[in-house]
Structure 1
Amino acid sequence: MKWPRDRGTDVSALKIKTCFFEKDPSVSLYRRAFAEVAGTLLLVFCVVSAGIAIQRVTSSHVATLAVLALVTGGALCGLVVAFGDASGGHFNPLITVLQWISGDRDIRCTMAYVIGQCAGGVVGALLANVLLAGERPATYPPTDVLHLMAAEAVTTAGLMIVIFGCMRGQRVMTGPFAVAAWLTAALLAFPACYMNPAIALSATWAAGVVALPVSRALLLILAQIAGAAGALAVISIAYPRAKPAEPDSQVAEA
């Protein structure tokens, strides 16, 4: 059976226009993964830089939350619009892995994206530390771990529902703005949430108010995975996948 050279996204192969899938999956995987590296790097750089900068000009907790929420939502929206056609504009391993679980992305592409996202995030955090001469906090504020993990799971589930709802509802251009709106609202309501394993991992290298100890980052990532699993169940009910059409005789030729 003859298949396209790179079947990174079955949805693109079926020529269904939707967000969070690359426009042309036949483009080299290295180029598409590079877009994920660059996008995640810039996203984390903006978030960490904003945290360091706002901490230097004000001690207001409300101002800090507002700035981080707006910076995160705005940066992500712009980066998804900029890189969406190239790679799908994920910048979040949970999106990539859920696409793989759903059968929309192969394992090679999934691994390249996830590794690139995590590496890009760490470099973005270190770059912000160097350019703004940020320092990691000596101590971290005490937090109720169970409540923190519950909030992380709920906000992550909401983010994945927004993303996959836009994707399966074929909302081509509304996805980035819907995601930015959810992130801004969620971060204002639950400011300790990260909703992204790449950012949580990067925060263990970051300075300023977004920094995390490794133990807390690992707990947040576990909560994010749980939230993503719950979101996939909700989306599977709300948007059941149609059975794939039988390939025509030309595609099915050996």
Structure 2
Amino acid sequence: MSARRITAEALATGMLVLAVVGSGIMADRLTQDTGLALLANTIATGAVLYVLISVFGPVSGAQMNPAVTLVFALRGEIAPGLALAYMLAQGAGGVAGTLLAHAMFELPLAQVSQTVRTGAAQGLAEGVATFGLVLVVLGALRGGAQVAAVVACYITAAYWFTASTSFANPAVALARAFTDTFAGIRPADLPLFWAAQGAGALLAAAVAGWFWPRTAKSAG
């Protein structure tokens, strides 16, 4: 088990959450327009995703997402023990990213979000967001597309076409429960998000296996 790969997952996820939470705090301070604040948050998230996947991809795969890691483990592309280590590192790194964002903006480090994100529509949105994310990751890998660009573009779009603003990541959702700022989510709403994310990821894995069978050659 590679300490370098696990550390890369923790650091990359922490930097992702730092960008999500930090840009949300900055946007909220600079404007009272919620739409404009979300746009700023979206741009920062999409940009940092491109950078992090490009930089950390060669080290650990830059999965930064337990749902993605789970799918790779089920596909036999990462050992179960390493997958578990990745997930723990992603969760810990994400929470650290939230705390660092608070420190930079001189906010209390220990916070619990009060932002309500519940209901069937939110759950459906997270399922759709995660389904799409996992599907485009697997499709990009199979088709030879640049994964960093594909993921960054997808998440940038999904911020706006999903009711939940596309968390699509259990580790990021956990980290965002520890910030009572623009990007927060109430801890009580995490089980709904996690269940929807898991279901979306598994469905995407099944669909990807049908679209792009790993043992079949493309007919062109």
Alignment check: 8 A CA contact 2:113 2:179 kept: no
> Corresponding residue for 1:140?
115
> Corresponding residue for 2:126?
152
Inter-partner Cα distance in structure 2 for 1:59 and 1:39: 30
**Paired residue type of 1:140:** T
**Paired residue type of 1:77:** Y
Alignment check: 8 A CA contact 1:52 1:134 kept: no
Bigger Cα Rg:
1
Runs of at least 5 residues in structure 2 that lack an aligned partner in the other structure: none
Inter-partner Cα distance in structure 2 for 1:134 and 1:239: 47
- Asked if 1:73 corresponds to 2:41, the answer is no
Inter-partner Cα distance in structure 2 for 1:65 and 1:182: 16
- Asked if 1:214 corresponds to 2:187, the answer is yes
Alignment check: 8 A CA contact 1:129 1:207 kept: no
The one-character-per-residue Cα deviations of 1:47-93 (angstroms, maximum 9, x if unpaired) are: 10011111111111110111111111110110000111011111111
Inter-partner Cα distance in structure 2 for 1:134 and 1:199: 19
Determine which structure has the larger helix proportion and give its number.
2
> Corresponding residue for 2:155?
183
TM-score (norm 2): 0.91
3-state SS in 1 of match to 2:115: coil
Count of residues in Structure 1 that have an aligned counterpart in Structure 2:
213
3-state SS in 1 of match to 2:182: helix
**Paired residue type of 2:208:** I
Inter-partner Cα distance in structure 1 for 2:141 and 2:58: 14
Runs of at least 5 residues in structure 1 that lack an aligned partner in the other structure: 1-27, 244-254
Q: Percent identity?
A: 32
TM-score (norm 1): 0.80
- Asked if 1:170 corresponds to 2:118, the answer is no
Alignment check: 8 A CA contact 1:150 1:223 kept: yes
Inter-partner Cα distance in structure 1 for 2:120 and 2:55: 37
Inter-partner Cα distance in structure 2 for 1:146 and 1:137: 23
**Paired residue type of 2:173:** A
Distance 1:159 1:138, change over 3 A: closer
From 171, 184, 205, the counterpart of 1:232:
205
Most deviating of 200-209 and 120-129: 200-209
Most deviating of 186-195 and 158-167: 186-195
From 24, 45, 58, the counterpart of 2:31:
58
**Paired residue type of 2:153:** A
3-state SS in 1 of match to 2:26: helix
Inter-partner Cα distance in structure 2 for 1:76 and 1:153: 20
Inter-partner Cα distance in structure 2 for 1:138 and 1:70: 23
Inter-partner Cα distance in structure 2 for 1:95 and 1:201: 15
**Paired residue type of 2:194:** I
Inter-partner Cα distance in structure 1 for 2:84 and 2:56: 19
Inter-partner Cα distance in structure 2 for 1:201 and 1:169: 32
> Corresponding residue for 1:5?
none
- Asked if 1:122 corresponds to 2:95, the answer is yes
Inter-partner Cα distance in structure 2 for 1:58 and 1:73: 20
Alignment check: 8 A CA contact 2:113 2:187 kept: no
